[in-house]
Amino acid sequence: MTAEEKTALAKALDLADDYLRDGYACDRGEYAFTEDPPQNSVTGAVFSAASLINASPSRRGPADSLEALKADICGCTACPLHKTREKVVIGDGPGGPLVLILGDAPGREDEEAGKPFAGPAGELLDRMLGAIALSRGTNCYLTHLIKCRPPEDGNPSAFQTAAACAPFLKRELALLKPLVILGFERATGAGIPEAFNFLKTAGIPFFSTHHPALIRSDEGLKRPAWEKLKTLSSTLTGLDRDYAGALRTAGRT
């Protein structure tokens, strides 16, 4: 491994640690690594952080589909979470959605239900979406950055986990082609894992607001969350004529 690759890997691990801790980046100073000697197929292969992030977790070709994607997610063993998960939490919703709703990682209720945003927080999210003529059953697709529930005491292989899941989200975006993305918490903050930086340059309008679980615990977050949803709705009216009509029919304009 080259010194440059070691530095990239160390920074990625630092970002993952920041992400899991509180979402804020910490300054750890500069790194000084030396080059590794070349290795052959007998002694073991050396791979870079970039190769892990960009590698596809499947052998699917141009005829990809949501069904193939979900099968690959369910069969994934690319990171240690496959050893502790009870269920994989795959995306939920229709193809060709107006909005892709993005969380950071599944919680216990999500894992038990086998779908994103389950339980009371999910019920609140459904009401929030309904207020602007959106729903998970008709025009929203719900998913997470990471597809398996991390252990509550933290994930020691956070970089590997994020890198393993990033290609799945890339495939979701390519297959679904949402008009906008709505993210929660660390999914859109400064602590986003390096493996998911492609979200910043995907060319899709990106909105973020407070997670429904936080809103349930703090009534003061309702107003700013509602204002952000109104902004998202206003953007959608300019992108999709049918949505604008549904909004008028629902009396939300």
Q: Kindly indicate the confidence band of residue 26, based on its pLDDT and cuts at 50, 70 and 90.
A: low
Average pLDDT estimate for 44-53: 35
Look at 182 and 15; give whichever has higher pLDDT.
Answer: 182
User: 87-249 belongs to which homologous superfamily?
Assistant: Uracil-DNA glycosylase-like domain (3.40.470.10)
Q: Which has the closest alpha carbon to 102: 187, 2, 160?
A: 187
Cα distances from 160 to residues 191, 214, 218, in angstroms, run 16, 28, 33
Q: Kindly indicate the confidence band of residue 234, based on its pLDDT and cuts at 50, 70 and 90.
A: very high
What percent of the chain clears pLDDT 70, i.e. is strictly above it? Answer: 68
User: What is the structure's pLDDT at 48?
Assistant: 37
Look at 163 and 65; give whichever has higher pLDDT.
Answer: 65
Q: Kindly indicate the confidence band of residue 235, based on its pLDDT and cuts at 50, 70 and 90.
A: very high
Its pTM stands at 0.73
3-state secondary structure (DSSP) of residue 174: helix
User: What is the structure's pLDDT at 127?
Assistant: 95
Look at 50 and 42; give whichever has higher pLDDT.
Answer: 50
Look at 4 and 41; give whichever has higher pLDDT.
Answer: 4
3-state secondary structure (DSSP) of residue 207: strand
User: What is the structure's pLDDT at 192?
Assistant: 63
DSSP state letters, 79-131: SGGGGT-SS----BS-SS-SEEEEESS--HHHHHHTSSS-HHHHHHHHHHHHT
User: What is the structure's pLDDT at 30?
Assistant: 66
Contact call for residues 160 and 103 (beta carbons, < 8 A):
no
Residue boundaries of the structural domains of the chain: 87-249
User: What is the structure's pLDDT at 42?
Assistant: 29
Cα distances from 22 to residues 89, 184, 196, in angstroms, run 23, 14, 17
State the first-to-last Cα distance of the chain, in angstroms, to the nearest integer: 57
> Quick check: 22 pLDDT over 80?
no
> Quick check: 55 pLDDT over 60?
no
> Quick check: 47 pLDDT over 50?
no
Cα distances from 134 to residues 121, 148, 224, 243, in angstroms, run 16, 26, 18, 9
Q: Kindly indicate the confidence band of residue 63, based on its pLDDT and cuts at 50, 70 and 90.
A: confident
Look at 56 and 117; give whichever has higher pLDDT.
Answer: 117
Distance CA 72, CA 142 (A): 18
Residue 48 is given by DSSP the state -
User: What is the structure's pLDDT at 27?
Assistant: 61
> Quick check: 216 pLDDT over 70?
yes
User: What is the structure's pLDDT at 200?
Assistant: 77
68-106 pLDDT tens trace: 999 999 999 988 888 888 999 999 999 999 999 999 889
> Quick check: 252 pLDDT over 80?
no
Average pLDDT, the chain: 79
Highest mean pLDDT among 16-30, 46-60, 211-225: 211-225
User: Is residue 73 packed enough to be buried (19+ CB in 10 Å), middle (13-18) or exposed (0-12)?
Assistant: buried
